[in-house]
Chains A and B, each alone.
Chain A
């Protein structure tokens, strides 16, 4: 019984949140990894791309709410997603046209692209703060819980509750759907295959008649969709704040790199690895240990390895260990 209680506490505070957070990171990392696979540079503007997409979704949500349109018990933001994705895609395509395409035509080295993505990052970050402000925004409406801790307790008669937030369930469902569609696109459609071919060997892709500019455009549209969905899911689950989204860049990069930059499956695995590590290292295991350990061994302190203030240290450690031991990532990059 105690073991069951420990398991429920663990699921409630570690496993379920980490699954949701991991899905959000995985979607973010997929965006980073696709840009790297096609354009061969690390896109530092990705966090702020997520922020932009989420901002549009919030604005659209407000508008829909003002019109009395909603899909209760689901959050209105889901309805706003297509609008947000379209706006973000337009922004990224315009950015590519005005910024990156020039450097591509000059065959600039990757560092120039990284520097340009820094400029784009500052531009996007400023744009978002300009439009919606730097503050925290909560835009989750609809039902808060699918299963609340209290309902769980009364239903099972146990002492501990397992709560599942609507946002967590939505995250899981949407992430699975998006990943399924993405992999179907990459592995089953001609356009998707041509993107993999271009990522593998751009020169040979050219010799096969694949048009680079088309591949790049599709790459940005995919990135816009992934970034917006990841950002909206994260915002629904927690809240939206431009600076937080900028900081998300670090766990997202850690996830993409640990899985092998350019490798979509790796990005997903990396997302969950980073999320589970971060949450379990910063979670106070006092209660869990209290159930499983005999009384005289039960910890006095919180049994927390690291304060949540230092959660970035977890991504960083994973990042550095990967880079030092296996720079191509756990699942190996497709090239080099």
Chain B
């Protein structure tokens, strides 16, 4: 490791500390927590792109799956909803699975031709009709249960930390299905296929209210860390805060954020160690061999598509885990926020800034890019203010410029991506 690498991490830490001194430590810790989550997403993307050369443009979809997992695990179950709709939903699911099984059996059994096409189509049509006749009324019934508060099935009321592995697992499952279909496509086709699959996943999360409450959001998810109000009521905490010289209210909020930071840092550390081990093991060397020359690797008997599927599943699982962590941090599921520009493409910028193929690079990229993603607005506002103050507050141009600062993030990130590709194509911490 060169001296440059740790220096850059110290620089990143200094940036966050600077926010602590200039703005507030509350803001600094919020940024830090999201930086850690971003670093985890970047690790997952780096696994796929950096080590295997796979274009996954569906990151936002896996992040959203992680978010849904958090609701499924930790939200309290809505008993009434289960009662009115649970049975019919189960029947609908059974019909759906049976239809698919029957259709694929027909597809395999009957010889290609018009007869096969017609019978598969007929099975699917009848199956869809039967499925909808159970599914639609079930959904209607569930969504009519106290729509203002519930209107969905709820979760299992389990400890929220369980959602993290489950989020990873669900994302892995989805990635397996997607990978089975879409891997093996040429790079840019895979990108387009995963981009659209993510849009479909987002559409499901936004619209299937019986499952996620859709854009009505699920709020008040339980936390893995104490609540501020409980801390403020605890004499022990209050006296401890006073002894450090901070008032109890801000101390409680800092404590909660620090607790999240600790959890996230632990997860990041574990994932980093695992990625490093994997990459330095024969497995990692094989992945790089496949990335650098697929044809040659296949020629010497490497199972290219199998390895690709594996790394696609693992990388997506990490994104799912990060999604679950993010929803846990926010304490609510807000499907409206899942935007490919913010998640998928930002994660790409992180990996390219950090250095594709380098785990440390991915972490650094995740931290730096998230930091600037948040702070560009502040920095931009200061710059815009200084550039236009002479126009006077009444000037429409000044007003427009000041309003536009809110939209500075995307072009800045695009610019950073282009500059990196051109001048530092190997990233800040290049692969060895």
- List the interface of chain A (C-beta within 8 A of B): 41-42, 44, 99, 102-103, 110-112, 114-116, 118-127, 129-131, 133-134, 243, 246-247, 249-250, 253-254, 257, 301, 305, 307, 309-310, 312-313, 315-316, 319-320, 323-324, 327
Contacts and interface: CB of A to CB of B under 8 A. Distances in A.
Contacts of B408: 126, 130
Nearest to B128: A305
14 contacts: A99-B418, A110-B187, A114-B187, A115-B348, A123-B418, A125-B410, A125-B411, A126-B408, A126-B411, A130-B404, A312-B203, A313-B200, A319-B196, A324-B181
A257 B192 contact: yes
Contacts of A309: 203, 206-207
Given A129-B407, A130-B404, A323-B185, A316 B415 contact: no
B203 A122 contact: no
B192 A253 contact: yes
- Point out which of A124, A126, A133, A315 has the most chain B C-beta atoms below 10 A from its C-beta: A126
Interface in B166-187: 181-182, 185-187
B136 A301 contact: yes
B199 interface: yes
Closest 5 CB pairs of A and B: A126-B411, A122-B414, A126-B410, A123-B414, A119-B417
A135 B412 CA distance: 20
Best-surrounded residue of B182, B199, B339, B415 (most CB of chain A within 10 A): B199
A312 B199 contact: yes
A310 B203 contact: yes
Contacts of A114: 55, 187-188, 191
Interface of B: 53, 55, 128, 132, 136, 181-182, 185-189, 191-193, 195-197, 199-200, 203-204, 206-207, 339, 341, 345, 348-349, 352, 404, 407-415, 417-418, 421-422, 425
Given A112-B425, A313-B203, 5 more contacts: A125-B414, A133-B407, A247-B199, A320-B181, A327-B186
A134 B207 CA distance: 22
A316 B196 contact: yes
A44 B404 CA distance: 24
Contact of A127 (B189, B193, B203, B411): B411
Contacts of A323: 182, 185, 189, 193
Contact of A122 (B185, B191, B410): B410
Given A319-B193, A320-B193, A310 B200 contact: yes
A124 to B, nearest CB: 8
A52 B417 CA distance: 20
Contact of A129 (B197, B339, B410, B421): B410
Given A114-B55, A310-B200, A122 B411 contact: yes
A324 B53 CA distance: 20
B49 to A, nearest CB: 9
A301 B137 CA distance: 11
Among B181, B193, B204, B418: residue with most chain A CB under 10 A: B418
Nearest to A41: B188
Nearest to B416: A119
B407 A130 contact: yes
A119 B418 contact: yes
Contacts of A44: 191
A320 B182 contact: yes
Contacts of A116: 417-418, 421
Nearest to A99: B418
A247 B345 CA distance: 14
A316 B197 contact: yes
B418 A120 contact: yes
A250 B188 contact: no
Given A126-B412, A250-B196, A110 B188 contact: yes
Given A119-B418, A126-B411, A324-B181, A42 B200 contact: no
A111 B54 CA distance: 10
B185 A327 contact: yes
B207 A301 contact: no
A131 B397 CA distance: 12
A118 B200 contact: no
Contacts of A115: 348, 352, 417, 421
A217 to B, nearest CB: 20
Given A110-B187, A301-B132, A305-B128, A123 B411 contact: yes
B345 A118 contact: yes
A309 B215 CA distance: 13
A269 to B, nearest CB: 18
A58 to B, nearest CB: 16
A243 B336 CA distance: 13
A290 to B, nearest CB: 17
B188 A122 contact: no
Contacts of B53: 111
Contacts of A307: 207
A323 B191 CA distance: 12
Contact of A123 (B187, B191, B193, B415): B415
Contact of B413 (A122, A134, A249): A122
Nearest to B417: A119
B414 A119 contact: yes
Nearest to A311: B203
B187 A310 contact: no
Nearest to B196: A316
A187 to B, nearest CB: 28
A32 to B, nearest CB: 10
Nearest to B419: A119
Contacts of A127: 411
Most chain B beta-carbon neighbours within 10 Å: one of A115, A134, A257, A313: A115
Nearest to B420: A119
Contacts of A324: 181
Contacts of A119: 414-415, 417-418, 421
B417 A118 contact: yes
Nearest to B202: A312
Contact of A126 (B187, B200, B407): B407
Contacts of B197: 316
A105 B389 CA distance: 43
A312 B55 contact: no
